[in-house]
Every structure is written in C-alpha cells, then in structure tokens.
Amino acid sequence: MWGVGAVISPQEMMVLSQFESKELEIFKGILKTISKRGVPEILFCLKRGEKKFSQIMFETRLNPGVLGRHLKELKSLNMVDKDGDYYFLTDVGIGAIEILEDLKRLAALIGN
C-alpha cells in the first residue's frame, strides 16, 4: 500500500483515521490479498458459479501451489468457502467482486 517513507496526504490520513485499529488491519489484509496476481481471477471465476479446485486451476491458469495458497487466504478472509469439493463465493466475496468492479470502472475513467 504505502512504502517506507511514503508521504500520506491529509485526505488519506482522514480516511485512515476513520478505521479502528482492528478494522485497519482487516482492510490492509484485504487489499494485500486482492492485489496478488491471480486473486481477482479466482474471485471472478467463482462469480460464475461454484467450482472444483481443478476447474479453478484450469480457468485461471494458476499452478496448484499458488491456487491453494490464494484459496486458503480467501477462506481466512471469509471471501470464499468450500462445500465438499466445491468452492464458492460468500457474501463477503461478492462484496469484494463489487469493489473490484468499481475499481475497474474508476480505472477506465482515469484512463480516458
């Protein structure tokens, strides 16, 4: 998010001060996880429906080790859950998708 020695604007400080310390840690964890290569692809893959590990691997083209680590992180953040062999998005995961879609729209506006 912010590197060592990064200058934070007053507006950013105001946004950050609105978070309780526990909320801020959760916020940082979410941003760290969803910014990893392959995680948005997993979320969008599961948006289309529940899938087995092998199906997610095929659709995202992630190797099994990376996919397993990402799914474990997403489960720990309650974005993804598993029923038998099938992974699916939770309400939190659906919310994360909505945020990613908003960011995509924002990026398009900035790019124009």
Q: Average pLDDT of each block of 10 consecutive residues along the chain (112 residues)?
A: 61 69 81 92 97 98 97 96 98 92 90 76
Query: What's the pLDDT at 1?
Result: 47
pTM of the model: 0.77
CA-wise closest residue to 35 among 85, 99, 95: 99
Burial per residue of 96-110, b for 16 or more beta-carbon CB atoms within 10 angstroms, e otherwise: bbeebeeeeeeeeee
DSSP string, 28-65: HHHHHHHTSTTHHHHHHHHHT--EEHHHHHHHHT--HH
Q: What is the pLDDT of residue 65?
A: 97
The full set of domains in the chain, from first to last, is 37-111 (1.10.10.10)
Encoded amino acid at 85, one letter? D
